[in-house]
């Protein structure tokens, strides 16, 4: 049997990059192609939340916990990831939300999520920046934060410096790092044991791992087409980032609206939640807030499912999110410096069943991996590990 020695990874997002890390760890040479000069998809547009708290009990929680372990290991080796085990607080605005948090804190797997229900004084003891109004909060110590704008270059630097892989395991013959990053190369064709990029250059390999993110057309298009039977859909989210806040926000934050979306909170108390505010309901918004290493606050998000997506940003959604954040912090937010939207690929439950992401062998020796949805940053290291078995 021919042994796999050289892998081409297509896609410089977090899924592709974590596959490169996992492949180098197993001693394979990796050639890594990205169509842009630098990845600029979902992986750099997200919150950097390594989010365990809201995962569905069972396989989803297990995948997130394994990934959390792998992130912590990588964080210790690659300081540039900005990994910090900051935990999160999900805050209840009123009694029905608090009752639902109480139910979640009593789940049989609450210990694995490191949940603790706190009253307002307990919340402030953990996160003194929270001077606003809330009825209580659920602390999840398992949640963590990374710096999304730094993660990909930091991991590539680590690979290029031979930070991973068995010692002395450079590519056959040239004694280099065993990792080659080729930005500005869009793959247009996958053939047995090779891929071709848009310049016409062929890249020989034993295995192709295709991680195209939300690029559901192009080279991945023929494998993901299928109309109503396509296993994946795209989702667009709005985000913003403020100037630095002088004070430390010690944990990530989520508001009560997040209880409507995350499957861990699909408990009897969810039916008792009051109606969502109209602006939040229209935008399918929840408040998530993370303080960046420089003190700025990343704030989101919204969810748009119907394509074609808007090309512009909806200010009503931002007004709602800003008001929510100010109500919890009890101070006006610093000036918003950046706004953006991002699109991720997500498996469709009605088609994909309980699959947490999409993986298929699309050609002999070519594997397509995408569709982790809003859990992709979190689960990426564990997804890559599963690809290599």
| Dihedral pair phi/psi, residue 74, rounded to 5° | -65, -40
**Residue 283 interacts with ligand FAD (CB under 6 A)?**
no
Side-chain-side CA neighbours of 207 within 13 Å: the count stands at 18
Binding track over 25-54 against ligand FAD, x by CB under 6 A:
--------xxxx--x-xxx-xxxxx-x---
Binding track over 296-335 against ligand FAD, x by CB under 6 A:
----xx----------------------------------
Token code pair at residue 105:
């804190």
Nearest to 382 by CA among 353, 356, 347, 363: 356
Residue closer to ligand FAD by CB (options 24, 35) is: 35
Token code pair at residue 77:
């080796």
For ligand FAD, the binding residue among 378, 382, 384, 385 (CB under 6 A) is 378
What residues contact residue 250 under an 8 Å CB cut-off, 6+ apart? 86, 126, 127, 128, 129
246 touches 295 (CB < 8 A)? yes
Residue closer to ligand FAD by CB (options 136, 371) is: 371
Is the backbone peptide bond immediately before 349 cis, with ω within 30 degrees of 0?
no
Distance, in Å, from the CA atom of 34 to the CA atom of 182, rounded to the nearest integer, reads 6
Residue closer to ligand FAD by CB (options 46, 127) is: 46
Minimum CB separation of residue 146 from ligand FAD in Å reads 9
For ligand FAD, the binding residue among 372, 381, 382, 384 (CB under 6 A) is 372
Residue closer to ligand FAD by CB (options 148, 178) is: 148
Q: Residue 304 carries which DSSP code?
A: B
For ligand FAD, the binding residue among 7, 14, 21, 382 (CB under 6 A) is 14
Q: Are strands 207-210 and 6-10 parallel, antiparallel or unpaired?
A: parallel
What sign does the dihedral 213-217-221-226 (CA atoms) show?
Answer: positive
Q: How far is CA 135 from CA 14, 97, 102, in A?
A: 36, 9, 12
Residue closer to ligand FAD by CB (options 133, 189) is: 189
Residue closer to ligand FAD by CB (options 231, 373) is: 373
**Residue 342 interacts with ligand FAD (CB under 6 A)?**
yes
Binding track over 197-226 against ligand FAD, x by CB under 6 A:
--------------xxxxx--xx-------
Residue closer to ligand FAD by CB (options 67, 91) is: 67
Minimum CB separation of residue 388 from ligand FAD in Å reads 16
Tell which positions 171-190 bind ligand FAD, by CB under 6 A: 186-187
Minimum CB separation of residue 140 from ligand FAD in Å reads 14
Residue closer to ligand FAD by CB (options 125, 225) is: 225
Residues in the chain: 389
**Residue 242 interacts with ligand FAD (CB under 6 A)?**
no
Distance, in Å, from the CA atom of 118 to the CA atom of 124, rounded to the nearest integer, reads 9
**Residue 67 interacts with ligand FAD (CB under 6 A)?**
no
E strands, 207-335, in order: 207-210, 232-242, 252-254, 288-291, 297-300
**Residue 377 interacts with ligand FAD (CB under 6 A)?**
yes
Distance, in Å, from the CA atom of 129 to the CA atom of 300, rounded to the nearest integer, reads 19
**Residue 374 interacts with ligand FAD (CB under 6 A)?**
yes
Residue closer to ligand FAD by CB (options 179, 344) is: 344
Token code pair at residue 151:
């993660």
Nearest to 100 by CA among 274, 251, 279: 274
Residues that bind ligand FAD (CB under 6 A): 10-16, 33-36, 39, 41-43, 45-49, 51, 186-187, 211-215, 218-219, 237, 239, 300-301, 342-344, 370, 372-378
């Amino acid at each position: 049997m021919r042994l796999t020695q050289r892998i081409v990874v297509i896609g410089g997002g977090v899924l592709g990059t974590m596959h490169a890390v996992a492949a180098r760890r197993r001693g394979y040479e990796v050639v890594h192609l990205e169509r842009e000069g630098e990845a600029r998809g979902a992986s750099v547009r997200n919150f950097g939340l390594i989010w365990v708290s809201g995962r569905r009990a069972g396989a989803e929680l297990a995948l997130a916990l394994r990934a959390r372990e792998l992130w912590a290991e990588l964080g210790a080796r690659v300081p540039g990831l900005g990994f910090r085990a900051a935990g999160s607080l999900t805050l209840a605005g009123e009694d029905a939300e608090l009752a639902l948090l109480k139910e979640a804190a009593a789940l049989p797997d609450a210990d694995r999520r490191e949940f603790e229900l706190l009253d307002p004084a307990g919340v402030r003891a953990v996160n003194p920046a929270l001077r606003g109004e809330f009825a209580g909060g659920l602390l999840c110590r398992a949640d963590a934060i990374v710096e999304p704008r730094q993660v990909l270059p930091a991991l590539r630097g680590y690979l290029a410096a031979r930070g991973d892989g068995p010692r002395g395991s450079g590519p056959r013959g040239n004694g280099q790092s065993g990792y080659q990053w080729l930005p500005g190369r869009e793959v247009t064709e996958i053939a047995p044991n090779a891929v071709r990029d848009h310049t016409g250059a062929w890249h020989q390999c034993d295995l192709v791992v295709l991680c195209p993110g939300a690029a559901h057309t192009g080279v991945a298009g023929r494998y993901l087409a299928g109309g109503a039977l396509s296993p994946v859909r795209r989702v667009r989210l709005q985000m913003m980032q403020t100037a630095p806040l002088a004070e430390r926000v010690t944990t990530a934050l989520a508001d009560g609206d997040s209880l409507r979306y995350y499957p861990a909170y699909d408990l009897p108390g969810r039916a008792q939640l009051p109606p969502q505010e109209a602006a939040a309901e229209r935008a399918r918004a929840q408040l998530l807030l993370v303080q960046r290493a420089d003190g700025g606050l990343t704030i989101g998000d919204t969810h748009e499912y119907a394509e074609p997506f808007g090309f512009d940003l909806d200010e009503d959604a931002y007004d709602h999110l800003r008001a929510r954040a100010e109500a919890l912090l009890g101070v006006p937010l610093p000036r918003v410096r950046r706004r953006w939207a991002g699109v991720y690929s997500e498996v469709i439950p009605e088609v994909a069943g309980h699959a947490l992401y999409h993986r298929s062998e699309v050609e002999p020796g070519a594997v397509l991996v995408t569709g982790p949805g809003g859990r992709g940053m979190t689960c990426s290291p564990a997804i890559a590990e599963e690809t290599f078995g």
